[in-house]
Structure 1
Amino acid sequence: MHTSRVFKSSPQCKPSPDGRFVATLGSSAISIRSTASLRLVNVVRLPPELSGPVSGFLWAPSSSRVLVSTADQIQIFSAVDSSFHATIRNPASAGGKAPVIYFGARDTEVLACSAFGLKLAIIDLSTSKVVEIGNPKFHHPSSASRGLSIRPDTGHLALLTRVGGKDVISIHDPATRQVERSWCPETIDGQGLSWTRDGQWLLLWESPAQGRRLFLYTPDGQHFRTIGASGLSQGQSSNADAILEPGIKVCQLSSNAELCAIGDHSRRVAVLSTQTWRETVSLLHPSTIVPMDTLQVWQEQLGAAGERRSTHAFLRATQMVAPPGPWPDAKSAVSVSPGCSLAAFDASSTLLATRLDDSPGTIWIWDVAAAELRAVLIFHSNAGFSWHPSSRELLLVTCQDDARHGASFVWDPVSNGPTSVSPEDYLPAVKAVGKTRVSWINRESEFPELLLADAERCMLLSLSDAGDGPNPWQDDGGGEWDGASAAREDGETTGRPAVLDVEDISALDDTFSFRNA
């Protein structure tokens, strides 16, 4: 593999959505670096009033702006120049807790959900106006995204709130964010909603404790169909038994908007066609796996204890193997419920990766069209995964156990097992500093690329070999270590910031007031 030189990093280091830049948040400045040349394109000095722990560091959807948030304010900066700077004070915060922050449908729209779920503030930076919506159902950082969804292309916002013990869905105008339609769905405890990728359907699913029910709505909020337990079981059990079984744990849509994968508390995942909303494929995770020519089973082999640097090798199984259960050193000591709560389609929507909660170290790769298991990857710790955003059939697996220091691997169907891409294998240090991270770089390039980082250093990795051509970063002109960002953190930014100030957040119905500085 080809690697770039090492450059300065921090615990907050993220690639832009279009893959052209990497933003690194330092103590007093944000450094923006080009992924093509590795040169700094901008250094944004943080204002002195931005104090306290950083709760959010985000790229705008267009990759033109970056956002930094603390408990009492949000700062938004232009990424490559100093043409824009906005400040939002007291953004729906309460009790000193940092709100959950998202960019909206546009770079000029910010969504701030208060820490205790009192309200969701939709802030329009272009008009200095705010729309407040009370009682968003989900407000914790791990779940807030399940309660809102922005429709592709049009930008309509669908929001799930709860008032008086009842769920309420509202659809908001893409420009004004005023309510266009709202209704109470027939849910007892809705657990998530999402637009399909083509924006033709709005999905809402019920809590697992309330049975298997998936509600379908048209873009204007008209109820189209409710898919119940019988429609999601495909003869696996009687209708009476299916009604009593726990319901949906995960609802995942494909990037081509043609498929929807539903996982529940069983070992089965149902794949529905969004054209007919009927089950087309049923994927059953076997309790024992029999390797075949068409089914790869790769088991991780750890190096001997006491080695200075851990080594990773994978052995292809030739005999029947059973996926292991949760590892003894797992953080959670509580019993794990069975079923699938993690699933994702690849960029081509032909492969589906799943993980069962009762065997969190095993990743299952399914060929959806053939309804066959193509590969099983077995690791020695709990593992998460993410497909490459645009390259098909390319999977990144990251071990989630702290003792593994974020060990990461790349797999594709033609590889000879997963390949290690861990930061400790490439960064020039005996031991990685802080938490290590590996993420995809989603830019147009001949070969896929990754960002490898720990708390102090970063580098880029190209999934290409010497025989594939020259190193894409061989002409960047820098040394192995670049301290330029630290030297330029004292640089000043120019431009007049737009300051948005919330006068009082003590009452739920208080409104924001704004002033231009």
Structure 2
Amino acid sequence: MASQSNTGPSLISISHGGEYTVQIKKKEIWIHSAVPIEGTRFLQSSKLKEPLSTQLKFLKISGSGATSDGENKPNTTQHEEPLDLASHYRIICGSESRISVWQVDSLEWHADIENIEPSLTSVDFGASDDEAILFHAWSSKATIFNLDSAKSLVIKSPKFCNPSSQGYGYRPRTRQLAILLKPETSDLLTIHEACSYETISKVILPTIDAQGLKWSPDGRWIAIWDAANNGTKILIYTADGQLFRTYSGRPDTETTHDLGIRCIEWAPLKRRQQSSELLAVGKFDGTVDLLNTRTFSCSTTLLHTFQIDTQSPAVWRERMSFEGKLEYAEASSSSAFTTASADSAGFPRGVSMLRFSYNSDFLATVDQTQPNIVWIWSLSASINLKSALVHEHNVRNIAWHPREQELLITTANSTFAAVHVWSQDRNPNIAGVPISRSEAGRYDVTWVTATARGEPDVFWFNTADDAVLGHLSVGDDGHGYFNMLHSVSGDGYPQT
């Protein structure tokens, strides 16, 4: 996101694993590292050339763990030790007509893509950081550039050109491209070889209006879901484009009242596990179907309702303490139904967020009927609702720790910048964050995977213009505290 000012646009981007943060401000590019390099987290800065510096619209970082399939995935391979500054990390930034690529280690220019057709809507790295994939307005085409050979190729009529869409994805490990196309009236799935992008298969989809695709983490399956007005419909394809299964909902469900699918999420691979075990299907009726990946049939349906009995889950409600600090207080299960967010009107109904913990033992969900509640489900022995966290504002973002059963939550609170944390081992807590307040309540969190053993688990907390790095602790008063290690301030100058 860009924020216009009299000195040009300001953008911040954080690498997928949190290793680096890049900021563009005052016509300069600034690089920050989560792990100190030679005693400092601020690495270097460099001037951007005109007219790019005043027309900048896109900013991304490549590198280990980065994804290039149109979304930020929380569940990937974790690093056990700190990473050294690696030359393969690159930055891609650009305007609607020009793209520049930089090396992170030296902040040296690597490549330019010029004379681009105007009205770019999305820019990202491709199968590797040697490629850039560009989507053009009106879904006219996707262009893939090889930054080393300076060659390019075009895929015509991609179905989606919105950067937040899920209309394409690269296969884990081997990096074949799967993409949805809409050349005429039918949806198409095409699968392309890595590097050469030769077509492996081209499939006419039996869909009314395909909404997106996702590769399974093991690379065996491609899941494609249809528009909600066609009811529950997920197509499972093999990696070479063969239809394997179609899931149309539980057999005991009335199809006349089937409101369809809003989102899906694959469970991550566990250690020493070769295949994905679960596919979660979030639906517009507020339920979640859990499909086992052997038969792609529904094993369990999760309902966003409380069973008020002696086995009721722990429910925690956000409140303001006497000291003026946000905190969680344990509440009765029924209280959650009386605290629906006041700004929920107009939001599309249905399950909007599905996030598995790193080992699939827990699943966190958000249902837009009550968008201020995070539901945490235990999936280990018997499937049950473990806890629910009730907030005063809509939930904006949730992110599981890469190695622990710990969850970070941000809400659309425009008054206080705060991070909420749930842990399996202790009561949940809330900590204020020393960062400029976002009028729109837009806050994001990114765990840093490259932390040394024995060191605190750190994460980035950022707005569109600022970012801070730190970790959480609980004081003697029982309140949560954010311990800041580094700040990327809005004025462009680092603070530690």
Scaled to the shorter chain, the TM-score interval is: 0.7 to 0.9
Alpha carbons 1:366, 1:374 under 8 Å: kept: yes
Contact 1:92 1:119 (8 Å CA) reproduced: no
The answer to whether the aligner puts 1:178 opposite 2:198 as a matched pair is: yes
User: Offset of 1:160 from its aligned partner?
Assistant: 0.2
Task: Specify the SS of the correspondent of 1:72.
Answer: coil
The structure-2 alpha-carbon separation of the partners of 1:124 and 1:319, relative to structure 1 and needing over 3 Å to count, comes to closer
Aligned counterparts, 1:302-317, within 5 A: 302=320, 311-317=325-331
Partner of 1:502: none
Q: Distance in 2 between matches of 1:433 and 1:389?
A: 27
Equivalent of residue 377 in structure 2, options 362, 366, 369: 366
Superposed, 1:78-89 pairs within 5 Å as 78-82=103-107, 84-89=109-114
Indicate which of 277, 299, 321 corresponds to 2:335.
321
Please give the secondary structure, in 2, of the residue aligned with 1:80: coil
CA distance, structure 2, for counterparts of residue 205 and residue 54 of structure 1 = 34
Equivalences for 1:173-252 in 2 at 5 Å? 173-228=193-248, 232-233=249-250, 235=252, 237=253, 241-242=254-255, 244-252=257-265
Specify the code of the residue in structure 2 equivalent to 1:224: F
Q: Pick from 375, 387, 393: which aligns with 2:387?
A: 375
What is the 5 A alignment of 1:433-448? 437-445=444-452, 446-448=455-457
Q: What is the distance in 2 between the residues matched to 1:52 and 1:485?
A: 15
Task: Provide the rounded CA distance (Å) in 2 between the counterparts of 1:378 and 1:484.
Answer: 35
Distance 1:35 1:254 in 2: 27
Distance 1:302 1:464 in 2: 19
What is the CA–CA distance in structure 2 between the aligned matches of 1:438 and 1:250, rounded to whole Å? 21
Check the 8 A contact 1:28/1:45 in 2, yes or no.
Answer: yes
From the superposition, tell whether residues 454 and 342 of structure 1 become closer, same or farther in structure 2 (CA, over 3 Å). Answer: closer
Q: Deviations over 1:165-216 (max 9, x none)?
A: 1101100110111222111011111111111000001111111111111111
What corresponds to 1:500 in structure 2? none
Say whether 1:14 aligns with 2:13.
Answer: yes
Query: Compared with structure 1, are the counterparts of its residues 377 and 319 closer, same or farther at alpha carbon in structure 2 (3 Å cutoff)?
Result: closer
Tell me the distance in 1 between the aligned counterparts of 2:289 and 2:490.
Answer: 51
Residues 120 and 135 of structure 2 are in contact (CA less than 8 Å); yes or no, is this contact kept in structure 1?
A: no
Matched, 1:388 2:397: no
SS at match of 2:187: strand
1:241-260 CA-to-partner distances (Å, cap 9, x unmatched) read 22551211111111112210
Say which SS state the counterpart of residue 255 (structure 2) adopts. helix
Corresponding letter in the other structure for 1:200: R
The Cα shift of 1:32 comes to 1.3
Shift of 1:357: 1.2
In structure 2, the partner of 1:59 is: 61
Task: Kindly indicate whether residue 30 of structure 2 is the aligned counterpart of residue 27 of structure 1.
Answer: no
Percent identity (aligned): 25
Q: Which has the larger radius of gyration?
A: 1
Kindly indicate whether the alpha-carbon contact (under 8 Å) linking 1:12 and 1:24 is maintained by their aligned counterparts in 2.
yes
- 2:337 partner letter: P
Relative distance call for 1:386 and 1:329 in structure 2 (3 A) is closer
1:69 and 2:69 equivalent?
no
Q: Distance in 2 between matches of 1:82 and 1:129?
A: 24
* 1:346 Cα deviation from its structure 2 partner: 1.3
Give the direction of change, closer, same or farther, for the CA distance of 1:178–1:404 in structure 2 (3 Å limit): farther
Q: Kindly provide the CA deviation profile for residues 73-99 of structure 1, in whole angstroms up to 9, marking residues without a partner as x.
A: 111100011455211124453xxx342
Change (3 A) 1:126 1:171: same
Q: Structure 1 residues 209 and 387 mapped into 2: Cα distance closer, same or farther (>3 Å)?
A: same
SS in structure 2 of the partner of residue 116 of structure 1: helix
Say yes or no: does 1:167 pair with 2:210. Answer: no
Structure 1 residue 485: deviation in Å? Answer: 7.0
Judge conservation of contact 1:385–1:395 (CA < 8 Å) in 2: no
SS at match of 1:321: helix
Tell me the equivalent position of 2:319: 301
2:295 partner SS: coil
Q: TM-score, normalised by structure 1?
A: 0.78
TM-score by structure 2 length? Answer: 0.81
Q: In the aligned structure 1, how far is the partner of 2:333 from the partner of 2:212?
A: 41
SS of alignment partner, residue 334 of structure 2: coil
Structure 1 position 47 matched with structure 2 position 44 = no
Corresponding position of 2:142: 120
Specify the alignment match of 2:364 in structure 1. Answer: 353
Report how far residue 284 of structure 1 moved: 1.6
Classify the secondary structure of the residue corresponding to 1:44.
strand
Secondary structure (helix, strand or coil) at the match of 1:353 reads strand
1:325 Cα deviation from its structure 2 partner? 6.7
* Shift in Å, 1:276: 2.6
Give the number of equivalent residue pairs. 446
- Contact preservation (8 Å) 1:44, 1:77: no
When you count strand as a share of all residues, which structure comes out higher?
Answer: 2
Name the CA distance, whole Å, in 2 between partners of 1:400 and 1:271. 29
C-alpha distance in 2, partners of 1:328/1:433? 17
Instruction: List runs of 5+ in structure 2 lacking aligned partners.
Output: 1-8, 65-87, 270-275, 477-482
- Alignment match, 2:4: none
Deviation at 1:483, TM superposition (A): 12
1:462 counterpart = 2:471: yes
Is the 1:161–1:169 contact (alpha carbons within 8 Å) kept by the matching residues of 2? Answer: yes
Structure 1 residue 277 corresponds to structure 2 residue 288: no
Higher relative contact order (CA 8 A, sep 6+): 1
Q: Residue in 2 aligned with 1:343?
A: 354
Deviations 1:219-266 (A, max 9, x none): 1111112112xxx2253x3xxx22551211111111112210011122
Q: 1:4 maps to which residue?
A: none
Displacement of 1:457: 5.4
